Structures are given as structure tokens and as C-alpha cells.
Amino acid sequence: MTKNSKVVAIVGILAVVFAIVIYFVWDLALRRPAAVACSDGSHYSIDIRDFTTNYWAYSAKLEASVADRAKTAVQLDPKMLTQVSEALQEANEFRKYTVAGYNSCAITKVQYAQFGTRFHTLDGVAREIDSLLAKPSISQEESARLGELIRQYGDLARQLGSH
């Protein structure tokens, strides 16, 4: 490697590092919450990514893995898979509505806290479903429990939407 090649490589690496640093600084600056005056007091805008991390992390993970796990861990009734998929879509839409509503003062702080509790409950059910699907094989009793959890997950997701 010649001296010029080394200089070019070092400059290229430094440019990439600089671009990454700029991206993260820019992202943090954009995510700084802005206060909005609402009838129930100031609301600090919520970034959907923060909401996902706090209230939706496991449910989002379940969405990505349920089909693969169902194929490899246990054979699920296609109807159950459809129910999980529909419930995830309903809850995901309501998640977006919750954040947009809070940021625009359409949802009060009290309502937001209530929805947060519901999302935590939904997240807990998703964890249970995921833990059963992670097993290489499940008993008849666990299969029945999985079906009940999937029904519960669907009911909770629909309840979110009916707020």
C-alpha cells in the first residue's frame, strides 16, 4: 500500500466517522421534545420511537418473529396466526393514533397514562406468546394456553382501538 493510498483510506474512514457523528447529533437535536400548551397542561411531544421502546418493545418483536417461530417451534392453526397478525396491526395503528393524539392535545395526560397501562398489558401477553413459541415443542396444555393467549392478545388489541 502506497503512502497516498493510506492517506486516502484514513481520510475516507474519518469522513465516515464524521458522517455517523453528525447523523446522531442531528437525530438527537430533532428528537428534543417541544412543549405544546394543552387544556390539561403542557404536553412534551413524544417521538414514536421512544413510545415504541417504552410501551411496545416486545409486541413489535413478536410481529417480526411469530411466523418464523410458528413454523419452526410449533405448528399453529393458520386462524391463530391470522388473529395475531390482525391484532398486531390494530394495536400498531392505535399506537400511532395515541402518539399523534397526545402530541396534538387530542389525548389528555390521564388518557395517555391509561393507554400506556394497556400497552404494557399487551406487551406482557406478547412476551408469554413469544416464550411459548420459542420452545422446540410444546405440550397439549401449553398449546391450549397459547391459543388462549392469542385470543387474549386479540381482545386486548381490539379494546385499545375502542378506547
pLDDT tens, N- to C-terminus, the chain (163 residues): 687 888 888 888 989 998 888 877 766 555 556 777 889 888 888 777 766 656 555 555 565 556 555 554 455 666 777 777 777 777 778 888 888 888 889 989 999 888 888 888 888 888 888 888 778 777 888 888 888 888 888 888 878 766 5
Please report, for the chain, the start and end positions of each structural domain, with discontinuous segments joined by +.
1-30, 34-162
Burial grade of 7 (CB within 10 A; 0-12, 13-18, 19 or more): exposed
Sequence-distant (6+) residues with CB within 8 A of 116 are 54, 55
Q: Report the candidate in 85, 67, 86 with the shortest Cα–Cα distance to residue 76.
A: 67
Is the pTM higher than 0.75? The answer reads no
